[in-house]
Structure formats: structure tokens, C-alpha cells
Amino acid sequence: MPGHVIVRQRRTPAPGAAGPQPALTDAAPRQLNIGQRVKELRLAGKLSIRGLADAAGLTHSTIAQIEANKVSPSIGSMKRILDVLNMPLSAFFAQAEGKSEEQVFFAAADLVELADGQRLSYRQVGPSLKGKAIMMLHEHYAPGADTGEAYAHESEECGVVVSGRLMVVVGTEEQCLGRGEAYYFDSRLPHRMYNPFDEVCEVVSAASPPTF
């Protein structure tokens, strides 16, 4: 889905993962022009495409294709880009949504989708986390979903697997977590999550402060 943050698909699909994947949630993914947003922020920061690519550890052509909405970056790649632009992923989407009102209760459709809503869904509680102390996500990983290369940020995070199974990599440790099991780690350690199994995995997670 060009122009949207998605995860990289595994080269060898997990059993049952072949073919188009249905949406993981009832709410439709937010239709945001990711490439245009990246370009605007890059220009505001007085960076060339090559300058942003070098600082993010990505290729010049990758940045150019992202800005042209010809490729969709993984969560890990998007984090690298936004780290250079000094902006959390949550703020990137919140500013694009242009919402700032306070809200106490949220319908399912009010949650902000930070991924593609197809193979991976990261649905954030609250349209803007500016000035907030915590980020809460309702996550779904389709079979074969992968957050991509490991990434890190200044935070602590934890989560509980509601259903299915998920592989969680933190630093040099890797663990398979099933229903009712949980994780808690220092987000400064490079981490990655992926689902090589044939069933959708559902997770409820939180990070504080919301630097993701």
C-alpha cells in the first residue's frame, strides 16, 4: 500500500499466510500521504535526500522512493528516518491528522492506525500524545508480519499477548510468547517483533514516555 508504513513480508510465507490478507481490525487504516509528510519534514530540516539517507543509514534511492510513495517503509526504517527528523512515530501521524482536542473515551474507529492495518496493526489510543506520559497500543500481527530491522528509542515498554503467539527479540535475547504471557524491557535495547505462525497474534502494549 504505497504511502503507508507497513512491515516487510517474510520471504517464505508462514503456513496459511499466502494470498491477500483481510484487515486485522474493523476500522479502516488512515489514508495519509506518508511520502509527502517525510518530504515536508526533510525540507523543513534543511536536509537533502542524500543527507537524510546518510543520517538514517538508508540508501538515497530508498528515501527518494518513499517520498514518491513508490515503496512503503518498514516500522524500523520509518523509525530511523523520524529519529533524524527528531519526531516520534506517534507525533508524525498525530500532526498529519491535525487533531489536538482532549478526549476521555474512544470508539474503536477513533484509534489512530500507525501501520497498514493489513499485515500489521498498531492502533494508538489518543489522536495526539504531545505532553502525555504514556502510549498505549492495540496491536495485531498477521501470519508473516514483521516489524523489520531492530530499532531503539528512549523509553520503557511492556505488553501482554491476548491471543496467538509472537516472537519478541530484545537485544541478544529472543523469546516466543503465547496467550497471557508478557514482556517488559528498556526500549533503548534494539528490538523487533514478528509472527512466523499461522494465526493472528493480538497484543496490548504500553510505552512510557511515548517516544515510539
Contact 67, 49 (CB under 8 A): yes
**For residue 92, what is the DSSP state?**
H
Tens digits of per-residue pLDDT, 23-65? Answer: 566 554 445 688 888 998 898 889 999 999 999 999 989 999 9
**For residue 157, what is the DSSP state?**
E
pTM: 0.69
- Domains for the chain: give ranges and CATH numbers: 34-208 (2.60.120.10)
Tens digits of per-residue pLDDT, 117-160? Answer: 888 999 999 888 888 899 999 999 999 999 988 999 899 999 99
CB atoms within 10 A of CB 210: 24
